[in-house]
């Protein structure tokens, strides 16, 4: 577990160079990794750091004077920030394109002001002021959206503000009998874990963005953490929500299960700030585990390895963390890690009968050694029929120790001219491998540069009885117009996901398993949910936000 106090001190929305300010906690690329990547991707050796802040052009804020005066009266002078630094800090999320724009200062959508309400009542009143003055509101949690969810679009409004929920940082209550905790929306994941740990509980939600993302953001995007097989997706953990809307406050979640019509909580969970501002979330919590074991295996070939994970899911013996890398991801992990351990593993693999190594990381968390032993044995029994090489705890523990390191490595890759981005989807087991091949082929085709192919890696990290998610990581040499280069690649991949081929009337997979819709997936949403689906969303929007101030251009089309 990371050190929550230190991590919180690193949170700084004004940073443009990456995950941590001034390189703190950065993960520089080892020389051997840079050499290998340069050769493999044909990098030209250019250094591409973020441009100095002084070169950024920040337009004057357009918040109407009367609106500002009312907001200052409501929140206080310091909580209505109109300075360039505060506004720049809430300019977009953390997708590759967002990072490029923030690094180069080109194409920035800067909010006119940043508002910092202190509690749910103030959030409600802020919305009322913004309705009166025709100001768009972008709810802002950790700002880690990778789909344009926090881009400060104003639509047809006079101005746009970022509604930063950082001051809603309290644990409101804990009901140890029911195992329900109520957390305010702005609590960051590390703080949530530390507040709950004081009561002997955990949420068990560990996405890779753990260090920065918030409870409200998790709910608003239907997030999925690395231990989703054991603890569930975030949506599974939500018992109730308190939501501020322009037409009044909405509270949902009277009981753990209900037949009182459709589950309307789901309009807030996944509402992406377009259907209300979540101010509090009641979450199911579990006793903090006392025992943990992480280990790694190598399976032979993608199809057999995916079949093995399917067996675990369908026999209901998944480890809490079950993460399968394809051959390409396994190979790149070996290349980039280098060193003695990597050499030892290669030697081991040479001596084994494994032709196409696919790394499987398994992690169990339990309340007693006996429970852990029994669950681990059940998982391992289900893997018996599959050819594998057991690597033991070391490989698993190494993954666990570095599980939040990805964003820092991304900063280092950006600095040396790499196009580095991820995308994700999900489908049922019978289509999984076809979907993987189709997306992979589309990305390779689009990003191949004069015969220099990109690196396209894939892993499966969320498995269900009926199917699983696929998560792709792409590395390529950055093109002359990098934003356009990725836009075309993303379009090609999304085309492969949504393509209707015989037998796949709804497309090969979903647009997104856990990153949400934002601006980036909006053009394809109707293909997935149909015209009726988009009309239903528009009708809900009209009911809760009739003047359309909430997060224009996200989830619900203009």
CA-based nearest residue to 375, from 320, 335, 412: 320
In the complex, least distance from residue 96 CB atom to ligand FAD, rounded to whole angstroms? 10
Nearer to ligand FAD, 342 or 422 (CB): 422
d(C-alpha 86, C-alpha 68), whole Å: 16
**213 contributes a contact to ligand FAD by CB under 6 A:** yes
At its nearest, how many Å lie between ligand FAD and the CB of residue 222?
8
In the list 17, 93, 396, 454, the residue contacting ligand FAD (rule: CB under 6 A) is 93
Regarding 111 and contact with ligand FAD (CB under 6 A), the answer is no
Q: Is 160 in the site for ligand FAD (CB under 6 A)?
A: no
465 contacts 473 by C-beta, under 8 angstroms = no
The reply on whether position 468 binds ligand FAD by CB under 6 A is no
Residue 290 makes CB contacts below 8 A (sequence gap 6+) with 366, 367, 368
Chain-centroid distance, C-alpha 161: 23
Pick from 143, 363, 417, 553: which binds ligand FAD (CB under 6 A)?
143
- Selected range binding ligand FAD among 209-217, 366-374, 428-436, 450-458, rule: CB under 6 A: 209-217
User: Taking contact as CB under 6 A, which single stretch among the options 202-210, 296-304, 502-510, 526-534 is the one that binds ligand FAD?
Assistant: 202-210
Whole-angstrom distance, CA of residue 64 vs CA of residue 158: 8
- Does position 404 interact with ligand FAD (CB under 6 A)? The reply is no
Nearer to ligand FAD, 207 or 467 (CB): 207
Closer CB to ligand FAD, 61 or 518, in the complex: 518
Of these, 136, 152, 165, 419, which contacts ligand FAD (CB under 6 A)? 165
We find the least distance from the C-beta atom of residue 404 to ligand FAD, in angstroms, to be 9
CA distances 305 to 315, 331, 379, 437, Å, are 15, 15, 14, 15
Task: Please tell me the distance from the alpha carbon of residue 282 to that of residue 237, in angstroms, as a whole number.
Answer: 8
Give the single-character DSSP code of 449: B
β-strand pairing of 286-287 with 201-202: antiparallel
* Site for ligand FAD contains 479 (CB under 6 A): no
Which residue's structure tokens are 């053009």? Answer: 523
Rule CB under 6 A: say whether 209 interacts with ligand FAD.
yes
Residue 179 CA neighbour count, 13 Å, CB half: 11
- Print the SS3 string covering 162-198: EEECCCCCCEEEEECCCCEEEEECCCEHHHHHHHHHC
Per CB under 6 A, the list member of 56, 129, 224, 324 interacting with ligand FAD is: 224
395 makes contact with ligand FAD (CB under 6 A): no
Complex with ligand FAD: residue 37 or 544, whichever CB lies closer: 544
Query: Which residue number is nearest to ligand FAD in terms of Cβ?
Result: 217
Per CB under 6 A, does 437 bind ligand FAD?
Answer: no
Among 33, 37, 80, 146, binds ligand FAD (CB under 6 A): 146
Q: Is 145 left (phi over 0), alpha (psi -120 to 50) or beta?
A: beta
CB of 309 to ligand FAD, least distance (A): 18
Among 203, 360, 551, 556, binds ligand FAD (CB under 6 A): 551
Tell me: does residue 94 bind ligand FAD (CB under 6 A).
yes
Per-residue binding string, ligand FAD, 273-292, x by CB under 6 A, is: x---xx--------------
- Two tokens, residue 72: 């200052």
Query: What gap in Å lies between CA 360 and CA 295, rounded to an integer?
Result: 8
Residue 406's H or E segment, with its range, is helix 406-415
In degrees and rounded to multiples of 5, residue 225 shows phi and psi of -95, 170
Decide whether 100 or 224 has the Cβ nearer to ligand FAD: 224
C-alpha–C-alpha distance, residues 89 and 102, integer Å = 9
If you search the block for the tokens 């280069």, which residue do you land on?
Answer: 485
- The yes or no reply on residue 127 touching ligand FAD (CB under 6 A) is no
**3-state SS, one letter per residue, for 468-511:** EEEEEEEEEECCCCHHHHHHHHHHHHHHHHHCCCCCCCCCCCCC
Output 133 or 521, the one with its CB closest to ligand FAD. Answer: 521
230 binds ligand FAD (CB under 6 A): no
Q: Which stretch binds ligand FAD (CB under 6 A): 136-144, 413-421, 494-502, 538-546?
A: 136-144
DSSP class of residue 60 equals P
Burial 434-464 (b: 16+ CB within 10 A, else e): bbbebbbebbbebbeeeeeebbbbbbbbbbb
Indicate whether 272 belongs to the interface with ligand FAD (CB under 6 A).
Answer: yes
Contacts of 377 (CB under 8 A, 6+ apart): none
Rounded least distance, CB 142 to ligand FAD, Å: 3
The residue within the footprint of ligand FAD, chosen from 150, 161, 460, 522 (CB under 6 A), is: 150
Query: Binder to ligand FAD among 515, 520, 545, 553 (CB under 6 A)?
Result: 515
Buried b (16+ CB within 10 A) or exposed e, 337-356: eeeeeeeebeeebeeeebeb
Q: Which of 357, 395, 407, 482 binds ligand FAD (CB under 6 A)?
A: 407
Query: Does the footprint of ligand FAD cover residue 187 (CB under 6 A)?
Result: no
**Nearest distance from residue 146's CB to ligand FAD, in Å?**
5
When asked if residue 232 is in the footprint of ligand FAD (CB under 6 A), the reply is no
**Is residue 519 part of the contact set for ligand FAD (CB under 6 A)?**
no
Which one, of 57, 153, 43, 138, lies nearest residue 102 by Cα? 57
Which segments within 212-320 are labelled E, that is strand?
238-245, 248-252, 277-284, 286-287, 291-300
The residue among 318 and 372 lying less far from ligand FAD, judged by its C-beta, is 318
Q: Give contact residues for ligand FAD (rule: CB under 6 A).
A: 93-94, 138-146, 149-150, 165, 185, 207-209, 213-214, 216-218, 220-221, 223-224, 272-273, 277-278, 406-407, 514-516, 551, 554
């Amino acid at each position: 577990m990371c050190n929550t106090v230190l991590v919180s001190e690193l949170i700084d929305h004004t940073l443009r160079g990456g995950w941590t300010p001034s390189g703190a906690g950065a993960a520089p690329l080892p020389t051997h990794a840079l050499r290998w990547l340069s050769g493999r991707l044909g990098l030209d050796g250019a250094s591409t750091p973020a441009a100095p802040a002084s070169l950024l052009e920040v337009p004057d804020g357009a918040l109407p004077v009367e609106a500002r005066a009312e907001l200052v009266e409501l929140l206080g002078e310091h909580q209505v920030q109109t300075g360039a630094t505060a506004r720049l800090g809430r300019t977009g999320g953390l997708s590759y394109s967002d990072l490029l724009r923030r690094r180069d200062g080109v194409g920035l959508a800067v909010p006119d002001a940043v508002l910092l309400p202190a509690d749910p009542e103030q959030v409600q009143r802020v919305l009322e002021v913004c309705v009166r003055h025709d100001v768009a509101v972008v709810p802002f949690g950790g700002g880690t959206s990778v789909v344009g969810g926090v881009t400060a679009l104003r639509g047809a409004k006079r101005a746009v503000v970022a509604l930063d929920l950082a001051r809603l940082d309290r644990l409101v209550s804990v009901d140890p009998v029911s195992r329900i905790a109520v957390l305010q929306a702005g609590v960051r994941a590390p703080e949530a874990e530390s507040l709950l740990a004081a009561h002997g509980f955990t949420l068990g939600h560990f996405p890779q963005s753990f260090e920065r993302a918030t409870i409200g953001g998790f709910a608003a995007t239907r997030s999925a953490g690395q231990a989703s097989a054991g603890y569930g997706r975030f949506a599974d953990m939500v018992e109730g929500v308190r939501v501020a809307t322009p037409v009044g406050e909405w509270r949902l979640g009277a009981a753990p299960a209900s037949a009182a019509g459709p589950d309307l909580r789901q309009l807030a969970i996944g509402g992406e700030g377009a259907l209300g501002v979540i101010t509090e979330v009641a979450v199911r919590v579990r006793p903090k585990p006392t025992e943990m074991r992480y280990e790694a295996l190598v399976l032979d070939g993608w199809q057999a390895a995916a079949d093995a994970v399917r067996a675990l899911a369908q026999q209901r013996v998944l480890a809490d963390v079950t993460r399968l890398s394809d051959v390409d991801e396994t190979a790149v992990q070996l290349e980039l890690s280098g060193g003695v351990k990597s050499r030892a593993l290669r030697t081991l693999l040479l001596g084994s009968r494994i032709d196409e190594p696919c790394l499987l990381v398994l992690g169990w968390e339990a309340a007693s050694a006996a429970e852990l032993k029994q669950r681990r044995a059940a998982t391992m029994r289900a893997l018996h029929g599959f050819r594998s090489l057991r690597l033991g705890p070391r490989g698993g523990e190494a993954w666990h120790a570095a599980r939040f390191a990805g964003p820092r490595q991304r900063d280092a890759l950006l600095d040396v001219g790499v196009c580095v981005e991820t995308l994700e989807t999900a489908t049922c087991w019978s289509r999984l491998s076809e979907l993987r091949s189709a997306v992979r082929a589309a990305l390779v085709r689009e990003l191949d540069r004069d015969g220099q192919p990109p690196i396209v890696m894939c892993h499966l990290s969320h498995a269900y009885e009926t199917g699983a998610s696929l998560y792709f990581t792409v590395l390529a040499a950055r093109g002359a117009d990098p934003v356009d280069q990725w836009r075309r690649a993303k379009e090609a991949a999304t085309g492969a996901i949504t393509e209707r081929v015989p037998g796949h009337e709804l497309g090969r997979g979903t647009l997104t398993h856990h990153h949400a819709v934002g601006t980036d997936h909006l053009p394809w949403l109707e293909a997935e949910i149909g015209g009726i689906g988009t009309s239903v969303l528009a009708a809900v929007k009209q009911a809760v936000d009739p003047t359309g101030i909430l997060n224009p251009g996200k989830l619900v089309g203009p």
